[in-house]
Amino acid sequence: MSHVNTFAKARLWVPLTLAVALAACSGKDEPAAPAAGTATAPAAAPAAAPAPAPAVSAQVQSMGTDDLRDSASKALRENRMYAPAGDNAIEYYLALRDKTPDDASVKSALTDLLPYTVIAAEQNLTREDFTEAQRLVALVEKVDPNAPALARLKQGVTGGMQTALKRTQEETDKVKKDAEARAKQLADQQRQQQAAEAEAARNIAAQQDAARREGERQEADRAAAARREAEQRQQAAAAAAAAAASRAAAPAAAANNLRPVSTPAPRYPPEALRAGTSGDVLVEITVGTDGSVTNARVLRATPARVFDREALNAVKRWKFEPVSAPVTTRRTLAFAPGG
């Protein structure tokens, strides 16, 4: 009987407080602030959607009814309506509904929580956190498979991931195109240098030939030595240029091969948000062979020491597809109020 009274009180409390709690919870849902298009970077979408986890975690499903009731009430008091995963009111109530399908108070609680979960899913779609959005959509579908917003949310997840993936591909293509342009420019400079050196060598040879025609053997010997020296310089310059081109192209080619799996956006510092401060942070990240970010550092921040911490927290949580060797690249994270 005490549990029934608890649910009744909780249902009266939910409509009065959930609206206020929604803003706080949506802030807690946001990932603690990847990266690395890679070059990059705006927040990128996963190359492929991971297989969705069950709407209600196995740990929650294994709990007894009394524990579920207590945990659901506590989650409501602490404004954990739909997050974090595995420890929120809606999952506890869904598990209770499976165990006590005739409990009207449980059904009422789920009815009250459903619209807030829909709103949270829409917010995560807006900031392109598709993993969290899929989890919330799964909760909505388990609460009510016929929910009016369900089809729109599913379409939003699919369309959003496709759009983000397309944007990432466009950014990758741009980085590749820029690298090719730089390589072409370097090759043109090398050809010009080689032509100048060849012309200089021809001038020296002409002077030496005139000296040889005058019968000065010593001048002829010096001319031959000069030609050999010119050829050696030319070969050394060509080898150095080729090595430089190879070193310049290798990091860009490796960065172009990075395929993002999950690059959640950084959290906006509350002080900066209240002050309307915007800026950006250029970070350098190293992606290990398993696709995780193994090292990250700030190269430039505008303004200084405002967004650095959140940018680093974000990129350290980024995930890419596995690569054959560690890759170091740079990304720019932009912060704009209301952006």
Residue 218 and residue 94 share a domain: no
Residue ending a domain, choose from 230, 256, 282: 256
Angle (CA) 222-241-251 rounded to 5° is 165
Overall domain count for the chain = 3
Which residues span the domain enclosing 64? 2-169
Residue 331 and residue 206 share a domain: no
CATH code at position 277 = 3.30.2420.10
Under 8 Å between Cβ of 34 and 319: yes
Residue ending a domain, choose from 152, 169, 186: 169
Residue 268 and residue 235 share a domain: no
Alpha-carbon gap, residue 326 to 338, rounded angstroms: 35
Residue 137 and residue 14 share a domain: yes
Pick from 34, 39, 75, 13: nearest CA to 253: 39
DSSP assignments along 150-166, one per residue: HHHHHHHHHHHHHHHHH
Residue 97 and residue 125 share a domain: yes
Residue 195 and residue 89 share a domain: no
Residue 58 and residue 35 share a domain: yes
Residue ranges of the alpha helices (H) in the chain? 2-29, 58-61, 65-77, 89-99, 104-126, 130-143, 150-213, 217-256, 270-275, 308-315
Residue 271 and residue 232 share a domain: no
335 DSSP 8-state letter: E
The single-letter code of the amino acid at 41 is A
pLDDT at residue number 246: 56
pLDDT at residue number 257: 81
Under 8 Å between Cβ of 200 and 171: no
Both tokens assigned to 109: 């609680």
Residue 115 and residue 67 share a domain: yes
Q: Assess whether the previous peptide bond of 84 is cis (omega < 30° from 0).
A: yes
pLDDT at residue number 76: 96
pLDDT at residue number 209: 78
pLDDT at residue number 41: 42
Q: Cβ neighbours of residue 54 under 8 Å, at least 6 residues apart?
A: 61, 138
Splitting the chain (339 residues) into consecutive groups of 10 residues, what average pLDDT does each group show? Answer: 40 41 39 39 46 84 96 96 95 96 96 96 96 96 95 95 92 91 90 89 78 84 84 82 59 76 94 93 97 96 94 96 96 88
Residue ending a domain, choose from 235, 256, 277: 256
Residue 190 and residue 129 share a domain: no
Residue 275 and residue 138 share a domain: no
Alpha-carbon gap, residue 40 to 160, rounded angstroms: 18
Residue 92 and residue 188 share a domain: no
pLDDT at residue number 333: 95
pLDDT at residue number 231: 86
Alpha-carbon gap, residue 83 to 25, rounded angstroms: 7
DSSP assignments along 202-234, one per residue: HHHHHHHHHHHHTT-HHHHHHHHHHHHHHHHHH
Alpha-carbon gap, residue 268 to 284, rounded angstroms: 20
Pick from 315, 254, 331: nearest CA to 289: 254
Angle between helices 150-213 and 130-143 (to 10 degrees): 160
Alpha-carbon gap, residue 203 to 181, rounded angstroms: 33
The single-letter code of the amino acid at 285 is I
